[in-house]
Amino acid sequence: MQRKRIIVDCDPGQDDAIALLMALGAPQRIDVLAVTCVAGNVPLRLTEWNARRVVELAGREDVPVHAGCGRPLLRSLRTAEHVHGETGLDGSGLPDPQMPLAGTHAVDAILAMLAAEPEGSVTLCPLGPLTNIALAMVKDPVTFARAKEIVLMGGAMDLGNVTPAAEFNFHVDPHAARIVFEFGLPITMMGLDVTHKVLVTDHRLDAVRAIGNRQAQAAHGMLEFYNRFDRDRERYGSDGAPLHDPCVIAWLLDASIFSGRDCHVGIETDSGSCMGRSVVDWWRSTDVPANAHVVSGVDEDAFFGLLEASLRAFP
């Protein structure tokens, strides 16, 4: 199988960090060209700091980390320390990063990579608010159109997690999300409908700890914190916290463990109470052509098998 060449745009965040480890732990399947950071779960100075800590934990200082936008396009930034802790990566126990931040702004770095790589060869993997991705599309649509596809975490057909109607990443920067969905590249959307099926149960936490290497220890610490802090057992009545962002990497490793459907997704940017709502035409109530593959189902044991295999692969 050909290696997937990807750019991960993220706002770490424990689940972003697990996604990065999952990708960096599978170098024979996934080639991470760069990690670009955006403000989201915590402010930009922390997301880029956390991304460098995770890249170093993976022993992959050769992968550049770029800082991008420090706020959404139109709205002011809303963060999620109540889920991820003050640093965004509480529970990881990771040291300060030693590797430098790359000099180029994330938006320019994304465009430069898309210009340099063969057309149709690079997959964008956004795991946070879509500000960097939308700005790159607006700045240079011709170059952006050289990307192969976008596989993103965001949105929900069912209820939201930050408002009754909206998911966090789309709610934080709904205008960016709208630009991305209207751009025309193939999109795979991993929304809450699927991520809430991938739960960090006690049994799975134990399995991660048992792997025993440094990366798995840090992953265990992050997941334990995230599990405790996200209060999903009380909030959603579930057996553990949903592991959102790693679904994107699992899709790249083995799409056959997921199920979904092509449909049209609109992003609400007008209504106050539904700001950032993804309006998914699952039943094809309109004849508006599909602009995304919306994923709703997953074999969760197979998912955790992929995660454990990536963590085990680290020396």
Point out the residues that are catalytic: 244
- 127 vs 274, which CB is nearer to ligand BDR? 127
- 111 vs 295, which CB is nearer to ligand BDR? 295
89 binding ligand BDR? (CB under 6 A)? no
CB of 239 to Ca ion, least distance (A): 22
| Separation of CA 225 from chain center | 19
- 7 vs 111, which CB is nearer to ligand BDR? 7
Residues 279-308 that bind ligand BDR (CB under 6 A): none
CA dist 144 and 161 (Å) reads: 30
Signed CA dihedral, 123, 185, 167, 298: sign only: negative
Return the one option of ligand BDR, Ca ion, none that residue 155 interacts with (CB less than 5 to 8 A, by type): none
Per-residue CA distances from 179 to 25, 56, 99, 170, 216 (Å):
32, 33, 33, 11, 37
Return the one option of ligand BDR, Ca ion, none that residue 97 interacts with (CB less than 5 to 8 A, by type): none
Write down the H helix ranges in 25-121: 44-57, 81-84, 106-116
DSSP string, 207-251: HHHHH-SHHHHHHHHHHHHHHHHS-HHHHH--SSEE--THHHHHH
Of the candidate spans 24-32, 94-102, 108-116, 161-169, the one that interacts with ligand BDR by CB under 6 A turns out to be 161-169
Site string for ligand BDR, 14-53 (x = CB under 6 A): -xx------------------------x------------
One of 69, 124, 127, 150 touching Ca ion (CB under 5 A):
127
Q: Which of 170, 152, 150, 151 is nearest to 160 (CA)?
A: 170
Contact footprint for Ca ion (CB under 5 A): 11, 13, 16, 127-128, 245
